Amino acid sequence: MQATYGNRVGVVIPTRGRARLVLRAVKSVLAQTHTDLEVIVVLDGPDDETVSTLSAIDDPRLRVEVMPQRGASAARNRGVQLANTDWVAFLDDDDLWRPGKLEMQLMLAKSSTDALPIVSCRSLNVSHQTASPYPLRIPLPNEPVSEFLFSMRGWPPRHGGIQTPTILAPRILFKRLLFDETLPRHEDWDWLLRAVQIPGSALLFLPEILVEVDRFSSLQRLSSLRDWRYSFNWIRARYDLVTKRAYSGFLLTVIPAFAARGGAGFGEFLLLLKEAAMRGQPNLIQLTVFAIWWLLPLRLVNWTGKMLVKAKSG
């Protein structure tokens, strides 16, 4: 059954110690063609410079909340609590929205017959002098969300994916299902996998690029991704939330990128392969990508990946 929602959107931006960047992010929200919104910047710990910088913005739609330092997930949850809106969207402090982002997502969400629509879109991942669309494919009709996230399709193989700054959903859904504040990584995937289990929820996807993600800054923040065992343990604990194909896809195409950069050896890669074979549903694409990460030098893998992205986005 379709639910009735108003038009007001709460935009939650967690930040700390990045005054110049968050100022750009806030301005990109206030420049939206959809103007019925409030921007809630949640400071994850005391940050006088950011408070001072944002105080120069004379717009009643902006508010700043300072909380004890507890991490980005806690900051997002706090922003949801503070929002006095029907909808909530998230933006990271180093990313930007294109002007029509909220307007287009609301139009799609309000046309849906689903009670709890979750709307995402494509982004442009910007790093140094390069920029590439993400994801490189859109969800197939009736494709399980876990397979869109973790299972490559086509040739050359293409991942799907969802990034937090692309998500818009009803506030009641975020109030019902908070981000897991105990997770240092994968909290966005974790939330989405749990959210689509709730009756009435559905993922809707716009193919347009409506978000610009600072990939270089994100990778700097996520340098601990080399700890591939964290990801291994995370997906094993979420086995019931993913399909078997998605499970093996995560083990054979997502984790190997972390493992290779972290210097994993023969035994570690063999562990991933065994787990995928025993509990997943590996296919030829997954096994091929896994073999590339396992057997080829890292520098060659990175070069090949860049060439494939360039070819597919050109």
Q: Is the peptide bond before 135 cis (omega within 30 degrees of 0)?
A: yes
- State the average pLDDT over residues 156-180: 94
Give the pLDDT band (50/70/90) at residue 218: low
pLDDT recorded at residue 297 = 56
Among the residue ranges 24-33, 125-134, 150-159, 224-233, the one predicted with the least confidence is 224-233
The Cα 8–Cα 88 span in angstroms is 9
pLDDT recorded at residue 266 = 80
The Cα 84–Cα 91 span in angstroms is 17
| SS3 assignment, position 266 | helix
Q: Which of 4-8, 11-15, 262-266 has the highest mean pLDDT?
A: 11-15
Buried/exposed code over 235-272 (b: 16+ C-beta within 10 A; e: otherwise): beebeebbbbbbbbbbbbbbbbbbbbbeebeeebbeeb
